Structure 1
Amino acid sequence: MTLISRLDQRLRALDDASLTRRRRIVDTPCAPRLLLEGRPLLAFCSNDYLGLAAHPAVIDALREGAALYGAGSGASHLISGHSRAHQQLEERLAATQAASIPHARALSFATGYMANLAILTALGGEDDATLFCESLNHASLIDGARLARASVQVYPHADVAALAALLEASTANTKIVVTDSVFSMDGELAPLAALLALCERHGAWLVVDDAHGFGALGEHGHGALAQAGLVSTNLIYMGTLGKAAGVAGAFVAAHASVIAYLMQRARPYIYTTAAPPALAHALLTSLDIIEGDEGASRRAHLDGLIARFRCAVQVAPWTLGASASAIQPLIIGDNAAALRAAAALYQRGLWVPAIRPPTVAAGTARLRVTLSAAHTVDDVAQLVAALNTLERH
Structure 2
Amino acid sequence: MENISKYVSNMKENGLYREFKYLNSGQGPKALVEGREIILLGSNNYLGLCDDVRLKEVAIRAVKEYGVGSGGSRLTTGSYDLHKKLEEKIANFKGTEDALVFNTGYMANVGILSALCDKKWVIFCDKYNHASIIDGCLLSGAKLVRYRHCDMDDLERKINMYKGKVNLIVTDGVFSMDGDVAPLDHIVKLAKKYDMFTMVDDAHGVGVLGEKGSGTCSYFGVNKDIDMQIGTLSKAIASIGGYVAGKKEMIDYMKNVSRSFIFSTALPPASIAVSLKAIEIIEKDKDRRQKLIELSNWFKGELKAMGFHITDTITPIIPAIIGDAKKATLFSESLLEEGIYVPAIRPPTVQKGTARLRISLMATHRSKDLEYVLKVMQFHGKRLKIIEG
TM-score (ref. length: structure 2): 0.96
Q: How does 1:26-45 map onto structure 2 within 5 Å?
A: 26-45=23-42
**Alpha-carbon deviation of 1:173?**
2.0
Q: CA deviation at 1:379?
A: 2.1
State the partner residue of 2:11.
Answer: 14
Measure the CA separation in 2 of the matches of 1:85 and 1:25: 31
Unmatched runs of 5 consecutive residues or more in structure 2: none
Question: Is 1:72 aligned with 2:69?
Answer: yes
Identity %: 35
Contact 1:233–1:254 (Cα < 8 Å) also in 2? no
Please list, as runs of the form range in 1=range in 2, the aligned pairs for 1:239-250 lying within 5 A after superposition.
239-250=231-242
1:149-196 per-position Cα deviation (integer Å, ceiling 9, x unaligned) = 111100000110111122233442221111001110000001110001
- Tell me the SS of whatever aligns to 1:319: coil
Give runs of aligned pairs for residues 289-328 of structure 1, distance below 5 A.
Answer: 289-292=281-284, 295-314=285-304, 318-328=308-318
Aligned residue number for residue 106 of structure 2 = 113
Alignment counterpart, residue 344 of structure 1, candidates 308, 326, 334? 334
1:10 maps to a residue whose letter is Y
Give the Å deviation of 1:233: 4.7
Q: Contact 1:180 / 1:190 at 8 angstroms: preserved in 2?
A: yes
Is the contact between residue 314 and residue 387 of structure 1 (CA under 8 Å) also seen in structure 2? no
SS of the residue corresponding to residue 164 of structure 1 reads helix
Deviation (angstroms), 1:263: 1.1
Answer yes or no: is 1:167 the counterpart of 2:159: yes
1:48 and 2:45 aligned: yes
In 2: Cα distance, 1:201 partner to 1:245 partner: 35
Q: CA deviation at 1:318?
A: 4.3
Q: Which moved more, 1:116-125 or 1:185-194?
A: 116-125
Q: Please report how far the alpha carbon of residue 8 of structure 1 lies from its aligned counterpart in structure 2 after TM superposition.
A: 1.2
Tell whether the 8 Å contact from 2:125 to 2:144 is kept in structure 1 after alignment: yes
Residues 213-362 of structure 1 correspond to what in structure 2 (within 5 A)? 213-292=205-284, 295-314=285-304, 318-362=308-352
Matched, 1:142 2:134: yes
Q: Report how far residue 206 of structure 1 moved.
A: 1.2
Counterpart of 2:21 in structure 1 is 24
Aligned to 1:60: 57
Q: Output the amino acid matched with 1:105.
A: D
For 1:383, the aligned partner's letter is V
Structure 1 SS opposite 2:46: coil
Counterparts in 2 of 1:20 and 1:315: CA distance versus 1, 3 Å: farther
**Larger deviation: 295-304 or 313-322?**
313-322
How far apart, CA to CA, are the structure 1 residues paired with 2:164 and 2:222? 25
Equivalent residues, number: 383
Q: What is the RMSD of the two structures over their aligned residues, measured on CA atoms?
A: 1.3
SS at match of 2:75: helix
Q: How far apart in 1 are the matches of 2:294 and 2:101?
A: 32
Residue 379 (structure 1) aligned to one of 345, 352, 369: 369
Q: Tell me whether 1:368 sits opposite 2:367 in the alignment.
A: no
Q: Are the aligned partners of 1:61 and 1:281 in contact in 2 as well (CA < 8 Å)?
A: yes
Question: How many Å apart are 1:234 and its aligned residue?
Answer: 4.2
Tell me by how many angstroms 1:383 deviates.
1.4
Q: Secondary structure at the match of 1:107?
A: strand
Q: Which runs of 5+ in 1 are unaligned?
A: none
User: Partner letter of residue 367 of structure 1?
Assistant: L
Shift of 1:44: 0.2
Residue 316 of structure 1: CA displacement?
6.3
